[in-house]
Every structure is written in structure tokens, then in C-alpha cells.
Amino acid sequence: MSDPTTPGSPAATEDPGERRGLPGGATVPEAGIAFASAEPVAPEPAGKTFVQRGDRIFRVLAVGSGAFVVILIGAIGLFLLVQAIPPLLDNNDNFLTSRTFDVEDTANLKFGILDLLLVTVEVSLFALLLAMPVGLAIALFLTQYAPRRLARPMAYAVDLLAAVPSIVFGLWGIFVLAPVIEPFSSWLQANLGFIFLFSDGNVREGPNLFTAGIVLAVMILPIITAITREIFDQTPRTQIEGALALGATRWEVVKTVVWPFGKGGYVAASMLGLGRALGETIALAIILAATFEAFSGSLFDGGATFASKIALSFAELNNPLSAGAYIAAGLVLFVLTFVVNAIARAVIVRKVD
């Protein structure tokens, strides 16, 4: 590093003179960079190339880092796929429709993701259902209703929820929250048990999807709130003031101006929250009780999501085939979150444009 810089200083000081001599391109340095590849065509004194070398190295580093990120995402999919293919070929069960996940015996792999997928989707959607209205109300509160002076610290308090590590949420959920909500969940089972969502579960009270969903809702709430707030904040000031001038109440401003402007962003924010919920690992691994019974669709069932199943079983694996089976499950999770996030981002980008 130090080598090029020492001779670099005189070259750099010479440079302005060099540039001044150049008509056109050199007056706009940005253009100078853009022309870097075309410049050798013009007759140039050798002294100038040094500065360009510094620029070129820096440019290569910057572009390389950008390309690295793109390659990285591709590599994640590719490497997971490579590890997942051998066990998928050896699988004696249907990967998509089987409910068992048995990779103990590498000579007879039987694994499928149906139950994992159903549990993951149900608990995430349940969490989303709980968090969406609250997140919307909080975003409205922070942008439209909260006292100006307090809005910032209040927003910070909600953001603090995102700073709590998920393992702490998991411990809180199973040790503290589960006993507290038990009477309510028993009531639901007794009175609404005829709906499949509230029928009796296959695990004891507490470590079920119901508890997990509430904890997940708390965890995705700050994500939904933060992004929705950002979108609502971009509502054109003039439109809000126009509505107020016409005599609209605060609620009517929300209904006629803020909501039509921000609803797309709100949906996208909720999808980002969903993406987070689908991939949440340790909180669910701690809360959900394992069970050998098939998932019935009830919120009072136990079971495992993709992420919690992988987290709990992976460390003990010592052969590539069993590990590959879990990596196959991880790949499905990756694709799932990729799709959800991509849709959400597309909506947000369109909104901003």
C-alpha cells in the first residue's frame, strides 16, 4: 500500500495541470472516469496514467464488492443445492408430500417437508395476522397522532423491541408468556374447538404454535412498524395540509390522504415481516415442543418449523447425507423467504418511484 502512495504525491500534484490541458472530458471528473477506457485512444502523456491507476484500482474494488454481493446470493442457492441433491436422490419418500423427517439411517432416508412447511406457514401467518393491525396503528400513531416532541423517543422504544435477541424472546415466551395465556387458550379450545384452528393440540399446553405465534408477532412488530412509518412519513405534506384546510379531522386525513398513499408500502412492510417470521429460528426452537404426531392444523399443536427443525437437529449430524437432507429443507426455506422478500421489495421500489 505504502509503495504506490509515495511516488503518488508528485503525480497527484501534477495532475491538475495535466487536466487543465485537456479540453472537454477532463473538466467533469465523473466523465473522466467514465472515459477511462476510451482515453488511451487520445494521445496522452505518460504522467497521467498514475492517477488513473489509483482510480482504476479503487473502481475495481468498488465494482468487485458490488458484484461479490450478487455472486453471494447465487452461491447460497448453488451450494445449498449441491449439498441437497445426493440425499434427495436417495430419498425413499416424497420430499414434498411426506410428513416424516427420518434421516437416522443413511441407507434408508425417509424425509419430506410437508409438516415443516405447514407449521412454518401457519405460525407465520398467525403472527402476521396479530402484528399487522397493531403495526399499522402504531405507524399511524407515530406519524400522525403522537405529540411531535415525543414521537421520536416513542419510535425508539418500539425499535428497541428489535434489539432484543430472539433467544431472549424464546425464553420469555416459554417460561413467562405461556403460563399466562394458558387460561385463554383453554377457553378457545373449549368454546371454539369445532374450528380446526382451535381444536385440541397434540402436545401439552404451552409449547404450541399459539404461544409461538404471539412471540413471533412481537418480534416482527418493529419491522412492520418501522417500514410503514417510513412510507407514511413520505405522504406529501401539501396534501395533508390541504385536507386539514378543507376541515378534515385527523382521522379523515388518515383515511383520505395517508392511507391511500401508504397502503402499498404497508402491505410490503407486512410481507417483510412475514419473511422474517418464516425464517425465525431459535425462539421457535425453544418454544415449540417436538411431537411424533402429524400436524393437524390446530394452533395448539406442537411440531417444528424449517428453521427450528434444522437448528435443533443439525449439530448432531456427522454424515453428509443426513446433513444434506436438512440442507434441502433449508433450501426450501431460502426459496420461500426469497420469493416473499422479492415481492415485498418490488412493491416498495415501485412505490418510491
Neighbours of 118 (CB within 10 A): 18
Among 2, 65, 97, 238, binds other proteins (CB under 8 A): 65
In the complex, what is the shortest distance from the CB of residue 203 to other proteins, in angstroms, rounded to a whole number?
A: 17
Site for other proteins contains 352 (CB under 8 A): no
Closest CA to 239 of 252, 228, 229: 252
| 256 contacts 243 by C-beta, under 8 angstroms | yes
- What are φ and ψ of residue 38, in 5° steps? -85, -20
- Stretch binding other proteins (CB under 8 A), from 39-47, 99-107, 248-256, 257-265: 248-256
Instruction: Tell me which residues in 254-313 interact with other proteins (CB under 8 A).
Output: 254, 272, 275-276, 278-282, 286, 306-307, 310-311
Among 7, 21, 49, 79, binds other proteins (CB under 8 A): 79
In the complex, what is the shortest distance from the CB of residue 302 to other proteins, in angstroms, rounded to a whole number?
A: 17
In the complex, what is the shortest distance from the CB of residue 282 to other proteins, in angstroms, rounded to a whole number?
A: 4
Instruction: Tell me which residues in 22-61 interact with other proteins (CB under 8 A).
Output: 28-30, 32-33, 51-52, 54-55, 57-59, 61
In the complex, what is the shortest distance from the CB of residue 199 to other proteins, in angstroms, rounded to a whole number?
A: 27
Q: Give CA separation, 176 vs 29, 173, 201, 206, 347, in Å.
A: 62, 6, 20, 10, 38
In the complex, what is the shortest distance from the CB of residue 191 to other proteins, in angstroms, rounded to a whole number?
A: 24
3-state secondary structure 278-302: HHCCHHHHHHCCCCCCCCCCCCCCC
How far is it, in rounded angstroms, from Cα 220 to Cα 229? 14
- Stretch binding other proteins (CB under 8 A), from 218-226, 237-245, 256-264, 293-301: 218-226
DSSP code of residue 110: E
Nearer to other proteins, 130 or 294 (CB): 130
Among 68, 184, 187, 196, binds other proteins (CB under 8 A): 68
Q: How many residues bind other proteins (CB under 8 A)?
A: 96
Instruction: Tell me which residues in 131-150 interact with other proteins (CB under 8 A).
Output: 133-134, 137-138, 140-142, 144-146
- What are φ and ψ of residue 292, in 5° steps? -95, -10
Closest CA to 231 of 268, 188, 191: 268
In the complex, what is the shortest distance from the CB of residue 331 to other proteins, in angstroms, rounded to a whole number?
A: 8
Closest CA to 158 of 209, 262, 230, 250: 230
101 DSSP β-pair partners: 111
Nearer to other proteins, 189 or 223 (CB): 223
| 268 contacts 224 by C-beta, under 8 angstroms | no
How far is it, in rounded angstroms, from Cα 126 to Cα 299? 9
How far is it, in rounded angstroms, from Cα 304 to Cα 294? 11
The interface mask with other proteins, positions 151-190, x = CB under 8 A, is: ---x--xx-xx-xxxxxxx-xx--xx--------------
In the complex, what is the shortest distance from the CB of residue 273 to other proteins, in angstroms, rounded to a whole number?
A: 10
- Stretch binding other proteins (CB under 8 A), from 14-22, 90-98, 234-242, 256-264: 14-22
Instruction: Tell me which residues in 89-128 interact with other proteins (CB under 8 A).
Output: none
State the cell numbers at 104.
437416522
How far is it, in rounded angstroms, from Cα 316 to Cα 332? 21
Nearer to other proteins, 10 or 29 (CB): 29
